[in-house]
Structure 1
Amino acid sequence: MSIPKQHPFPFDPTYGATLSALQSIRPPEAPDGFDAFWEERYSRALTIDPKPAVSRNETGHARWHVLDITYASTDGVTIGGWLLLPKHGQVRRGLVVGHGYGGRDQPDLDMPVEDTAVLFFCARGMSRSAHPPIPNEASGHVLHGIESRDSYVIGGCVEDIWLGVSALIALYPWLDGAIGYSGVSFGGGLGALAIPFDRRIDRGFLTVPTFGNRPLWLRLPTVGSADSVQQYQRKHGSVLETVRFFDAATAATRIRVPMLVAPARFDPAVAPPCQFSVANALPGEKEVFILDAGHFDYDSAAEQNDELRGRTAAFFKGR
């Protein structure tokens, strides 16, 4: 175990929590109308033709054909990203991959999957999916539309995942029901919100997921996106009535497919109690791989990441 002891933060990124305490955290109760809110959004997303457009990318790689892709999402937003296709074997599965709140400037060519079409999408407002007036930096993005659950940008970002699934199925119809999701941090929180309401997604992998247990998320000190929302609250009043509809831990209680989740015990950007709230909430088949730290370098990072990579490969081979 190599949980960092030295750090530059004015707060303890472990929040003084023992592993036992972290594993005992329960998710918040869903607000009235939670399921109907998301089911209605999903139904609306399914009415949209994603119209995926694929073009050549000059990136060369031994394992992957790398393509640029765009597709239509809700609210007239065009989503950009990359599509990886295997050079060897057949496309038997699909995988939608989210990103952290730093955005994404290139695909991960070391994805440990085979026979898989891998869609790296950029969430609306960020990187290849720039969409003014949505801010492209995390501190502004996480506040966009927060005045109402219907206008909050996070809902649209979840719809971007669902339309990414639709785009893969439009390109490869036989993948319906054989599509996974993988996301880290921001992308992990989005995945927890998206997966339970989309039966086309058959498994998910979430690393250091954010947006879990919003009452804690709004209170615990952090250098992550929650800090912007906490500052906003101090000036404009509580936003809990909005963000509780976007609670990744509450949503995780609805997930019924196999899950791999990797929460961290030390994390200055996403408070570990919020991460473990998501992991603990999963009611079905799940594997929990505990990291010593997230969003921070530490002694055993390479070793743990290698082990997690192996678990990831096995997990997405599981079907």
Structure 2
Amino acid sequence: MPQDPPVELTEYSLSALLTPPASPVEPDDFDDFWRATFEEFGTGPVSWELTRDLAPTATHRVSEIRFHSSAGEAAAAYVVLPHTLGSAPRGLVVGHGYGGRTAPDLDRAPDDTAAIFPVAPGTHAGTASRFPALPDEHVLAGIAHRDTYSHRFSAADIWRAATVLLEMVPAAAGALDFSGGSFGGGIGAMALPWDARFRRAVLDVPSFGDHDVRLTRKCTGSGEAVRQHLQRHPEDRPVLDYFDAAIAARRLRIPVHVTAAVQDPAVDPRGQFAVYHALTGPRRLSVRAAGHLPGEIGELSDRLALQAGIDFLALPDERLA
């Protein structure tokens, strides 16, 4: 019996990663599927309610809300609104990694920015969901069909969170951005091409890029659960092509900043760079020494990537040409 490949901890050659790979083959009806999904879940009003106010910061009010998820259940989100909005506030939707979130990432919201931090269906401990919370289970939930796969609803809730934020702060329309890392980066790449309200995006170590490559490598992330599942159920493989961040990224026309790692035990660097290479609009790349690594090197890499994303979203428009 063939042995599973080892977990890949080797640092990839930057020159190899910067060479565009062959593009993954996409389904003929990829656009039709996502446009129909956006029409179903991304248009019209979204009901929401305040759950509780949290401790404010020197610059922002902070609250937790519930909104009606595309999954037909309550979803949680955290909202931070500047004490003084000013005449031209910026808006920001922030995705999260597969560890979920229990609070807003306050360091991602500059003083002039109103931000919403949605929690993907199933990943918030305080809301009941048909989706499991554990990453290795969530990544497989509904995978037998494109209409039922968990990632479809995670992407759709990015749109719905944007609707909620713009209802709260209408003046942020026209200056609405997205930032997401790992799971959130891949989900963001899937969601953004279909929603014209977004102005710019930051994708940090984005997951789900080029499944043909991703599935060749044993890893420490949720991709390993998918790889093992497909060994038992190869009939589910075609579903993943509708949820490939590198295929979706071909449709992105807004300016995008990608931070991609040359070493990452959880998200294959080749898939991260595939998302960057797929972009056809204005794009910028920052190269990380490491992604998803504990310890001092990993923490420093995370901080540098965070600041690079914040700086990109703050650039004047003329700097993005």
Instruction: State TM-score, norm by structure 2.
Output: 0.90
Task: Report if the CA contact (8 A) 1:145-1:151 is conserved.
Answer: yes
132-141 or 170-179, which deviates more: 170-179
**1:80-119 aligned within 5 A:** 80-90=76-86, 92-111=89-108, 113-119=110-116
Please point out which of 231, 234, 241 is paired with 1:234: 231
Partner of 1:4: none
In the alignment, structure 1 residue 135 sits paired with structure 2 residue 117: no
Pairwise CA distance, 1:85:
1.0
Partner of 1:18: 13
Please point out which of 194, 199, 207 is paired with 1:197: 194
Partner of 2:287: 290
**1:292-307 aligned within 5 A:** 292-297=289-294, 300-301=297-298, 303-307=300-304
SS in 2 for 1:120: strand
Letter in 1 for 2:70: T
Give the whole-Å Cα distance in 1 for the aligned partners of 2:24 and 2:71.
30
Give the whole-Å Cα distance in 1 for the aligned partners of 2:70 and 2:111.
30
**1:27-106 aligned within 5 A:** 27-90=23-86, 92-106=89-103
Q: Which runs of 5+ in 1 are unaligned?
A: 1-8
Pairwise CA distance, 1:285:
0.9
Pairwise CA distance, 1:303:
4.7
47-56 or 207-216, which deviates more: 47-56
Give the whole-Å Cα distance in 2 for the aligned partners of 1:207 and 1:27.
20
Letter in 1 for 2:37: R
Pairwise CA distance, 1:89:
4.5
Pairwise CA distance, 1:104:
0.5
In the alignment, structure 1 residue 152 sits paired with structure 2 residue 138: no
SS in 1 for 2:241: helix
Q: Deviations over 1:147-200 (max 9, x none)?
A: 011111100110000111111122222323321111110000000001111100
SS in 2 for 1:21: helix
Task: Report if the CA contact (8 A) 1:209-1:263 is conserved.
Answer: yes
Task: Report if the CA contact (8 A) 1:203-1:259 is conserved.
Answer: yes
Give the whole-Å Cα distance in 1 for the aligned partners of 2:104 and 2:261.
24
* Aligned residue-pair number: 310
Task: Report if the CA contact (8 A) 1:249-1:277 is conserved.
Answer: yes
Letter in 1 for 2:113: T
Pairwise CA distance, 1:281:
1.0
In the alignment, structure 1 residue 125 sits paired with structure 2 residue 122: yes
Give the whole-Å Cα distance in 2 for the aligned partners of 1:218 and 1:88.
48
Partner of 2:161: 164
Q: Are residues 171 and 36 of structure 1, via their aligned partners in 2, closer, same or farther at CA, if it must alter by over 3 Å? A: same
Q: Deviations over 1:42-81 (max 9, x none)?
A: 0111344211223442323222211111211224122111
Pairwise CA distance, 1:128:
5.2
**Percentage of pairs with the same residue:** 36
SS in 1 for 2:272: helix
Partner of 1:249: 246
Give the whole-Å Cα distance in 1 for the aligned partners of 2:155 and 2:116.
15
Give the whole-Å Cα distance in 2 for the aligned partners of 1:227 and 1:136.
16
Instruction: State TM-score, norm by structure 1.
Output: 0.91
